[in-house]
């Protein structure tokens, strides 16, 4: 069973062990959370370069050279074969690859007695697939973690699962280059439900899917293209029996990849650092 970073008492003598002494002859050894990194692109590089309360011990990418390069930074072992990667001894897989990778590997990861962090949360928009891996995780007594990603407020939006939400709107504004849509002025390019937006804009679904999972309901989406913006802007409007919430997030891109939200990458680091903290802040 994974230690998940907890302290293990080590008895320094046979006498102490037999007596199970709780005060003398005990040394606390900290066992760090061990991680397998699935996907070695820009987000993977940010994770590999961060010194946290965990350690990367295994890496896999379909382009093996990427895994090999990040192994030099992290000290982990790069694997050319996924089956060998998933059988390696570590606690948790951090997926930073793609929706396709989640669909291909999530169930196998859980079956191999590993927890899973899913960055490409758009994969969970398929209810059948989502229920399949939840069932596997429950049977294996494992957790599937979804980071907050490029937005804020998911913690309290989860109240929608126990108290009625009458309005949940995500308004996203992106540059023409980000969406691949030429525009000379601000223009609405989509208005509808999140599950419909996924079909038309499959590369821009992570935020809406995360909101749907948190709230327990489908999300209304408005997607704008605007040549005056140079970053992704997410506005979230929530109304319910508890009052109303408005959140606006202006995402700066990752320093090495303008297509990646830096906040999304940082949210994974925060999740990993806090997995084993005794004090849990946020719902």
Catalytic positions are 234
Look at the chain and count its residues.
Answer: 283
> Is the distance from CB of 221 to CB of 123 less than 8 angstroms?
no
**128-136 long-range contacts, CB within 8 A, separation 24+:** 129/103, 132/107, 133/106, 133/107, 136/107, 136/110, 136/111
> Is the distance from CB of 73 to CB of 50 less than 8 angstroms?
no
Backbone angles phi, psi at 102, to 5 degrees: -60, -45
Backbone angles phi, psi at 95, to 5 degrees: -85, 120
Strand-pairing partners, residue 8, are 29
| C-alpha span between 125 and 67 (Å, rounded) | 28
């Amino acid at each position: 069973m994974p230690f998940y970073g907890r302290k293990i008492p080590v008895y320094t003598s046979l006498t102490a062990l037999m007596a199970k002494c709780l005060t003398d002859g005990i040394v606390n050894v900290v066992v760090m959370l061990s991680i397998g990194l699935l996907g070695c692109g820009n987000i993977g590089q940010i994770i590999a370069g961060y010194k946290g309360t965990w350690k990367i011990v295994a890496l896999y990418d379909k382009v093996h050279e990427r895994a090999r390069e990040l192994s030099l930074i992290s000290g982990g072992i790069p694997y050319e074969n996924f089956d060998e990667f998933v059988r390696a001894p570590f606690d948790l897989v951090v997926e930073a690859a793609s929706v396709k990778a989640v669909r291909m590997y999530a169930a196998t990861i859980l079956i191999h007695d590993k927890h899973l962090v899913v960055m490409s949360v758009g994969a969970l928009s398929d209810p059948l697939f989502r229920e399949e891996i939840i069932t596997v995780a429950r049977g294996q007594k494992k957790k599937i973690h979804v980071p907050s990603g490029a937005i804020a407020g998911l913690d309290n939006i989860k109240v929608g699962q126990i108290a009625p939400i009458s309005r949940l709107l995500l308004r996203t504004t992106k540059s023409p280059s980000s969406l691949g849509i030429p525009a000379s002025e601000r223009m609405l390019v989509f208005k509808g439900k999140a599950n419909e937006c996924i079909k038309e804009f499959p590369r821009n679904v992570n935020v809406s899917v995360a909101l749907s999972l948190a709230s327990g309901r489908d999300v209304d989406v408005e997607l704008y293209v605007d040549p005056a913006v140079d970053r992704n802007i997410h506005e979230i409007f929530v109304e319910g029996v508890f009052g109303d919430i408005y959140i606006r997030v202006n995402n700066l891109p990752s320093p090495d990849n303008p297509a990646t939200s830096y906040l999304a990458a940082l949210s994974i680091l925060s999740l990993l650092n806090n997995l084993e903290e005794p004090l849990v802040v946020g719902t």
